[in-house]
Amino acid sequence: MSNTLKYTGIALAGGAVGAALGLLFAPASGDETRRLIAHRIDEQREALSERGRSVTQSIKEGRRRLAAVVNG
């Protein structure tokens, strides 16, 4: 058996064990966990959107400054 196949099998087995342990020791019910995950995704989506707006504003400001320098 090649090393790649061997390590892939080990990784898959480790993932399965980790998932099983996660289910057994989860601190909340499935519904609550899904709500928490959805809430966290919404928070991160909003943060990413805000960061995008900030970057866009910075680019516009940089272009404006560059145009002012070039046009003297």
Q: How confident is the model at residue 17 (pLDDT cuts 50, 70, 90)?
A: very high
Each residue of 18-39: pLDDT tens digit?
998 988 888 888 788 889 989 9
Each residue of 51-65: pLDDT tens digit?
999 999 999 999 999
pLDDT at 26: 82
pLDDT over threshold 60, residue 1:
no
Measured CA to CA, the distance from residue 35 to residue 41 in angstroms comes to 10
* Overall number of domains in the chain: 1
Positive or negative torsion for Cα 30, 32, 38, 40: negative
